[in-house]
Structure 1
Amino acid sequence: MNHKTRVAAALLLGALATPVLAAETDALPYLSGGYAYTFDDSARHSDAGQGLFLGAGAALNPFWGLELSLFGDRFASGGNHGNRWQDYGLKLDTQFFYSRDPAFSPYVGIGVGAMYSKLRNGNDSSSDPFIDFGVGFLHYFSGFADGRLGFRADARYRWVDLGDTGNAGHLTEPVLRVGLVWALGEKSEPVKPVLDADGDGVPDERDRCPDTPKGVKVDANGCPLDSDGDGVPDSLDQCPGTAPGVAVDARGCPARMGSGRFKISGSGAVLRFEDVHFAFDHDELSDYAKAMLDDAAQVINDTAQKYPALKVDISGHTDAIGSEGYNQALSERRAQKVKQYLVRKGVDEGRISLYSYGESKPEVSNDTEDGRAQNRRAETRTREE
């Protein structure tokens, strides 16, 4: 086995032995140029050839690519009676990339082209097709020129028939190329992984309930579904379909606090009662509000027996219509009316603290009439001192 046959065998085994890797990055088109060395073939009757090449490549998909290149080589005579050649050629290469990792992108290539060969010490010349096969790789320098500049190496085995030109006949010659590559175009931004820590199908960046237990159905915000709106997720609700406004316990069933007609949330000494709502620019209590406060007073007094240090906070609020000063005063009157009613129903006045916020703490937007109606309110809460 001569040295050229051994080179061809090595190229083939190298191509087959390299493990196929997944495409890791988008491949940009590139320009390439460098030095070429053609090992001597005794049929040329000359020394090895040296020359330059220039090419451009582009990806067809993550694995396949095409490259078009021009090259020129000169061969010294190697003796008094040897041939001195000058070759020019054009080649189209098909490449299969085993990986698109910029740090190391190995490939197998098959090229076809045409080559013009001329004897510099004679008048013979020939234009002939050729084919080559081999392996190569691209390596981009990550810390230089924004990762666009790289190095390449390529080893091929070329078959070409020069016929009677220089009595060369059929040539089989290894060709080694080394050079630089320059990537063109815009680099794509790396795709950020979508994080979903609780696995509920809602990305963490939009998940308002990031610790939802596995298997619990959630809404578009990543929070457990609560079909009846009672504050207890469907997965825990043992009494689905509770009527709106009915106070429920931790199981989602009507709570035993008060009459059950009015919504009361919380547990122990920390409770929030249904808000008292007012007509526009008024502080009078409606019949519904009085019935609700009757219920609240009973629950407060019962809770105070268990928690002697119980405190009651009442805060008044308004919508955004009117001046801030007027609304501040109106919110004070609303809170005071709720306090007076609870005291009449037996709640110890010493437990009660009043707060007035005017229009500064809206429950919802003031842009609609419904929103403004919800903001005209007084809130009642309990806490343990």
Structure 2
Amino acid sequence: MAFALPAAALAQDTDSPLRNGAYVAPMASYVWSDDKHMDDGFGGSLALGYRQAWYALELSGLYQAISAGDGNTAKLTGAGVNALLFPAPRLSGLYLLVGAGGMQIKSYPTGGDSTQFSNTFVNAGPGYLFPLKAGRYDFAVRTEVLYRYGHRDSSPLDTTMAPDNFNYVLVNVGFQLPLNRAAAPPPPPASEPIAVVPPAPPPDSDGDGVPDDRDQCPGTAQGAQVDDVGCPLPPPCEAPAPGQKADLAGCAAGDSILLRGVNFEFDKATLTLNAKTLLDGIGDALIAAPAIKVEIAGYTDARGSDGYNQKLSQQRAESVVQYLTDRGVDAGRMTARGYGETQPVADNDTDEGRELNRRVELKVTEGAATATTAPPLAALPAADAAATEAPPPPEVPADAPAPEVPADKPPVP
């Protein structure tokens, strides 16, 4: 059965969950009959159909039991073909049903249980689908009101009491259940990958690695080591190399500088000329760093007695303090202390080790130095820059009497 209705008039809401596919529709019925021999009755129907957008076609089977005044109950069974048309886009569940079929009537009143005849019928009426959803499954409650007209066929039985034509009004209520589960929603279209653009680094005008908004020392020289606020780190606390100025910038409490080249005459606390030249630069550096206090520490090697070495190292430390005081350094910022042979830094069994152990150190005991204005030292001759003592006294003739040496003062360099 086909219908050629205007597509515009029958266009359907394409978002309807029941618009396409096969379905089954079980329904209960209530029947009003105009036959004076029969009362109202109940029944049911089962339809199997297929919907395509604006229409559906279905096969339907029916059963109805209609009571009669004489106590009998007429039983109606039959089948038909229906077409459902969906004409209203805005009311996607509204439809008009038209159909035709045939039925058989048994136990018609006045004829007894043996009465049986058939008739053909047509029916038509409006209906409505109320969509429902259970998870991903779409279905509907189906309701419809139909008018059915039937015509009795000839029968060899005594049916003279049965009318030739039948008129019924039926109300059907049930479900329309699609036979296909709703498909899973399609995945969203793949989106273009979003390019992640790194944020522009904050400006760093002097290139020291600290952004301008945190740089407290703009204009730092390229390659200079800086702290977390962009200011140059102080230089390491170390003794000046030969020919360089003494600079205590970066020195703080706990730091120690080996004053290599500060030597003394043999077995005395008298500074050599080269030692004084080096101490001139040290004095200028101390004057330029008034916030620090220092200890001048003297050391000897292990030759000679412990007591003698302790006394000699103390005298030598005091000699350095005195020279720096005369140079203009505040004496209250300096202390002198001799350690003798107690803290060797090398092996006292070799000439090289003993030379390293004979030393003077400047130890920062308080404060910190940030800058100096000491002038550069004149370059020292290589022989003067070496950490050596003054040459020993001239040789004494072999036949000269040996000088006396106190028992508690063995020879030391």
Shorter-chain TM band: 0.3 to 0.5
Structure (1 or 2) with the larger CA radius of gyration = 2
Q: What's the TM-score, normalizing by structure 1? A: 0.42
Higher helix share: 1
